[in-house]
Amino acid sequence: ETGVTQTPRHLVMGMTNKKSLKCEQHLGHNAMYWYKQSAKKPLELMFVYNFKEQTENNSVPSRFSPECPNSSHLFLHLHTLQPEDSALYLCASSPALAGGAYEQYFGPGTRLTVT
């Protein structure tokens, strides 16, 4: 496979459940990102990792917990979510964090519904 993959593609969970979203990039990139895409709102950056180290937490509630075991994999652990957390969660990667003429490559997203 090439590019950025995300699993699962769809997830329905109750407010008391614990689940995890997985992202994998096959591009040899060093920076990875989690975004939240809600209807009628701009994409919101949630977390940034650079060489496995978290460099940004954009005031995300603690019920979202990211994990980056290596530069190719990124997880988003979810627990005790609220219905307003229902959204499309996008993962992206880029060769580096800054300083170069490159773009971010996005995965297809996980459509999350919290009931």
Partner 1 sequence: AQSVSQHNHHVILSEAASLELGCNYSYGGTVNLFWYVQYPGQHLQLLLKYFSGDPLVKGIKGFEAEFIKSKFSFNLRKPSVQWSDTAEYFCAVRSGNTGKLIFGQGTTLQVKP
Binding footprint of partner 1 on the chain (CB under 8 A)? 4, 31, 33, 40-43, 45, 48, 50, 56, 90, 92, 94, 96-98, 101, 103-109
- Please, which residue, 17 or 43, has the CB nearer to partner 1? 43
d(CA 37, CA 111) in angstroms, rounded, equals: 9
CB of 79 to partner 1, least distance (A): 26
d(CA 98, CA 114) in angstroms, rounded, equals: 34
d(CA 102, CA 15) in angstroms, rounded, equals: 38
d(CA 32, CA 75) in angstroms, rounded, equals: 10
CB of 16 to partner 1, least distance (A): 31
- Please, which residue, 42 or 69, has the CB nearer to partner 1? 42
